[in-house]
Amino acid sequence: MATDAVPQNARRAALASLVGTAIEWYDYFIFGSAAALVFGDLFFPGTSPIVGTLSAFAVFGVGFLARPLGGIIFGHMGDRVGRKRALVITLMITGLSTTAIGLLPTAETVGILAPILLVALRLIQGFGVGGEWGGAALVAVESAPEGKRGRYGAFPQMGNAIGVVLSTLAFGAASALPDEQFRAWGWRLPFLASLLLVVVGLVIRLRLMETPSFQRIRDTAQVVRSPLKDVLATHRRSLVLATGMRISENVLGYIILTFTLSYATQEIGLGRSSVLFATAIAATVGIGSTFLFGALSDRVGRKPVFLFGAAFTAVMAFPFFLMLNSGSALLVLLGIVAYYAIGVGAQYGIEPAYFAELFDTRVRYSGISIASQVAGIIAGGLTPTVATALLAWAGGHYWPVALYIIGAAVITAVAIAYAKETAGISLDTVRTPDNVGSSTV
């Protein structure tokens, strides 16, 4: 009976992390689509198209500034009182702020107040997402059977891809409206739909059990008083390495999901529906590839799979833009699908298991949240703005953006080289900054 309970709890945890993460990233990515397609005109009128897009992408990036604060606060909560409670709160914050964005008046109605409200809600949304990923990753990884943390840890990452699919399909359907209707009210529909998705997510997460790893440290009175202080004092090396390891997939993911949409429509002249369709297909294929790479890391180790993803990201940078610039719908589709499914999937699918294994259970939520969200500011939030600025600086040529992607991949490869292989160790082993200790909880 007890033997059967472990896989059942693990499956329930994997489902909860997948569904909840899909909803939260749906919320987050519809903002990116709106920033690329309509926010420039609606909230920053009177500017040139590229300046309007830059302004909208800057607001997109603002959300990343609040994510480390969310990671710290919800990391503290998750390490002190449990993973489940933190995940329920983050889902509500993100979902309600997203719904409110769909109700915002535009600059035509309220002037300067419109972008101010947009920035405020984006900050709240980012705050909620900042605490989401760490908790969802730990719920899946800490509940996984031994030897299967890579594949179970891939579930929240698959939720990210599902969120991309849902957000892309939602905006694809809305953008099929006549342009006047789309700009008047159609863009609001994907944001308002978030409210229904949040209700579904809450029902699932409220039924979630606490993870075995956290339950053990709570039962043995080993919960630390200040997780943030402890993680900064004892896990600085792991923080730096996990942050560096996340740079490449963050840059590549936001190049494909956000920057490519504006680049392909404004610079190349492709239809927005065709680019959104290619992105949806890429994310759909990415759901499977993310799981496969996570499972592969259980067999061959985290480091070789992660390093392959970083190498593929660097090698594919220039060919990707050549495929986009061809104007061929087939080549654009193949380029976006291959780059996302392999380049992002081989790195992103490994992160929950690998990062969790780098930190002690008592500070794990704080550790992986801080590393993830700092990388999010450096590589995720700034990427669309930096890429658009590089494009403008180069007179519309893509080569600086390709070099930017390669540089990010090199940073990640260096971090991987310095990280230890962790696939075979126990999650309950006490970690130290430079080595894995032998004492267990």
> Which residues have a Cβ under 8 Å from the Cβ of 19 and sit 6 or more positions away?
159, 200, 201, 204
180 alpha-carbon distance from chain centroid: 32
Q: What is residue 437's predicted lDDT score, i.e. its pLDDT?
A: 37
Q: Which among 395, 158, 164 is positioned nearest to 288, based on CA atoms?
A: 158
365 alpha-carbon distance from chain centroid: 16
**Do residues 245 and 303 touch, judged by C-beta distance below 8 A?**
no
Q: What is residue 429's predicted lDDT score, i.e. its pLDDT?
A: 65
Rounded-to-integer distance, Cα 409 and Cα 228, Å: 29
Average pLDDT by stretches of 10, the chain with 441 residues: 59 84 79 76 70 69 81 92 88 89 88 84 87 89 91 91 83 83 88 87 82 86 87 92 95 89 83 82 92 96 96 97 90 94 95 94 92 86 86 91 97 95 80 44 33
Q: What is residue 280's predicted lDDT score, i.e. its pLDDT?
A: 84
Phi, psi angles (nearest 5°) of residue 424 = -95, 0
Q: Which among 256, 237, 247, 224 is positioned nearest to 342, based on CA atoms?
A: 256
Q: What is residue 100's predicted lDDT score, i.e. its pLDDT?
A: 93
The interaxial angle of helices 383-393 and 236-254, nearest 10 deg, is 50
> Which residues have a Cβ under 8 Å from the Cβ of 36 and sit 6 or more positions away?
53, 56, 57, 258, 259, 261, 262, 265, 384
pTM score = 0.83
Rounded-to-integer distance, Cα 379 and Cα 384, Å: 9
Helical H segments across 176-262, by residue range: 179-181, 188-192, 194-206, 212-219, 227-234, 236-254, 260-262
Kindly calculate the radius of gyration of the chain based on its CA atoms and give it in whole angstroms: 21
Rounded-to-integer distance, Cα 263 and Cα 386, Å: 13
10 alpha-carbon distance from chain centroid: 22
Q: How far apart are the first and last CA of the chain?
A: 24
Q: Which among 434, 365, 424 is positioned nearest to 149, based on CA atoms?
A: 424
